[in-house]
């Protein structure tokens, strides 16, 4: 089926927030005396805030109550949002703007499909809020990636069939979510190694838009 919509993950695809997530979780884990490193941080890619916290707390012997977990997540988000204040349009990742312009020129619908509850703030900071036809994010879903909910919601908001959508993702959880939604999956950056991605690229600078829109015919 022809691709008529492209759904972008946000963190790691439109803008790189990895370092800010890492710094914020590092502070929290340090305060709690929990071991945390960049390798563990990689596992948080695409995963919701509370599920990220569960991964971090799995390295602790202490049993945290639900309200303690809520407090930790809140503290982490405060630190993270403080860091997000530094974001600007200069932080938009290479190839993103050109791709958005090319898709618009071809009347392809574009959406965000992100697990992040900070999506509206991040898009505002980088000046891209008005560029998307639909925004599905962590504020409107119950189940985060690898569940397909956020991508199915984006397709619904755009008024297109899931099979007409291509998803651009930097996380295995996101590629799995796209495939579960019966969408075409483009893996970039860390997701360029995902076996189940339909296209694999280092970044968006060398994305061939004809290939993207005919992604069925592509061999990676
Ligand atoms: C995803 C990130 O986009 O959003 C994850 O890849 C993060 O690392 C998740 O945990 C939730 O983010 P937020 O902004 O709601 O804490
Ligand atoms: Mg991502």
Residue with tokens 């022809």: 2
Tokens read off for 204: 């968006």
pTM metric for this prediction? 0.95
Residue 110 β-bridge partners: 6
Looking at the chain, which runs of residues are DSSP E strands? 5-8, 109-113, 134-136, 165-169, 184-188, 199-201
Instruction: Clarify whether 107 is annotated catalytic.
Output: no
Q: What is the pLDDT of residue 2?
A: 87
Q: What is the pLDDT of residue 1?
A: 73
Per-residue pLDDT band for 220 (boundaries 50, 70, 90) equals very low
Ligand 2 center from residue 218 Cα (angstroms): 23
* Ligand 1 pocket by Cβ (under 6 Å): 10-11, 21, 44-49, 52, 77, 114-118, 138
With 50 as the cut, is the pLDDT of residue 185 above it? Answer: yes
Q: What is the mean pLDDT of the chain?
A: 95
Ligand 1 center from residue 213 Cα (angstroms): 28
Tokens read off for 205: 């600078």
Residue nearest to atom 12 of ligand 1 (CA): 116
Instruction: For residue range 124-143, list pLDDT tens digits in order.
Output: 999 999 999 999 999 999 99
CA distance 158 to 108: 10
């Amino acid at each position: 089926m022809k691709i008529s919509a492209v759904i972008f993950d946000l963190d790691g695809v439109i803008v790189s927030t990895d370092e800010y997530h890492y710094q914020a979780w590092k502070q929290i884990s340090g305060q709690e005396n929990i071991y945390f490193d960049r390798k563990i941080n990689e596992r948080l890619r695409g995963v919701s805030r509370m599920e990220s916290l569960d991964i971090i707390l799995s390295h602790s012997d202490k049993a945290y109550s639900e309200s303690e977990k809520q407090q930790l997540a809140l503290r982490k988000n405060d630190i993270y949002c403080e860091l997000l204040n530094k974001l600007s349009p200069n932080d938009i990742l290479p190839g993103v703007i050109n791709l958005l312009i090319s898709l618009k020129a071809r009347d392809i619908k574009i959406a965000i499909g992100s697990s992040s509850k900070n999506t509206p703030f991040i898009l505002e900071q980088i000046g891209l809020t008005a560029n998307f036809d639909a925004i599905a994010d962590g504020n409107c879903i119950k189940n985060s990636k690898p569940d397909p909910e956020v991508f199915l919601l984006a397709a619904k908001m755009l008024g297109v069939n899931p099979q007409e959508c291509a998803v651009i993702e930097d996380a295995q959880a996101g590629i799995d979510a796209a495939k579960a939604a019966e969408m075409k999956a483009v893996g970039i950056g860390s997701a360029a190694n995902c076996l189940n991605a339909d296209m694999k690229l280092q970044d968006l600078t060398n994305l061939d838009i004809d290939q993207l829109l005919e992604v069925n015919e592509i061999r990676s």
